[in-house]
Amino acid sequence: DQQVKQNSPSLSVQEGRISILNCDYTNSMFDYFLWYKKYPAEGPTFLISISSIKDKNEDGRFTVFLNKSAKHLSLHIVPSQPGDSAVYFCAASAENGNTGKLIFGQGTTLQVKP
């Protein structure tokens, strides 16, 4: 039972345009959400997070939106750059940070074309 789902395995966008990566979840107890970026042969790196008490969090070119009623979150990258080409994982926690355990989605591979 996949509690966190990224239904698009891949996404291709043109440099300068907006990239929108989507993530759906089923567990209404999730209270914290994170996005990680992963380059080949490297570990994932933390990108941005959002608490369930918010509906938007912005950090430079990256914005995460949370729609709790739809159990959906999205990551917007504006403008997209070739260096953003990577695998993006969304992750969720249901334990208020007490243990740090995360449930990850399957990942979406983003390709930004010059």
Partner 1 sequence: NAGVTQTPKFQVLKTGQSMTLQCAQDMNHNSMYWYRQDPGMGLRLIYYSASEGTTDKGEVPNGYNVSRLNKREFSLRLESAAPSQTSVYFCASILTFDYGYTFGSGTRLTVV
Q: Counting contacts by CB under 8 A, is residue 97 touching partner 1?
A: yes
Q: Counting contacts by CB under 8 A, is residue 4 touching partner 1?
A: yes
CB of residue 16 vs partner 1: minimum separation in angstroms?
28
User: Which whole-number Å values give the CA distances from 55 to 25, 33, 39, 52, 62, in the listed order?
Assistant: 15, 11, 28, 7, 14
Nearer to partner 1, 15 or 31 (CB): 31
Q: Counting contacts by CB under 8 A, is residue 100 touching partner 1?
A: yes
| Stretch in the footprint of partner 1 (CB under 8 A) among 11-19, 40-48, 63-71, 73-81 | 40-48
Comparing C-alpha atoms, which of 38, 17, 12, 6 is closest to residue 80?
17
For the range 48-51, what are the long-range contacts, defined as Cβ-Cβ under 8 Å and sequence gap of 24 or more? 48/75
- Taking residue 81's Cβ as centre, other Cβ atoms within 10 Å add up to 13
CB distance 112 to 19 below 8 Å: yes
CB distance 7 to 24 below 8 Å: yes
| Stretch in the footprint of partner 1 (CB under 8 A) among 52-60, 63-71, 72-80, 89-97 | 89-97
| Stretch in the footprint of partner 1 (CB under 8 A) among 14-22, 58-66, 70-78, 91-99 | 91-99
Contacts to partner 1 by CB under 8 A: 4, 6, 9, 32, 34, 36, 41-47, 49, 89, 91, 93, 97-107
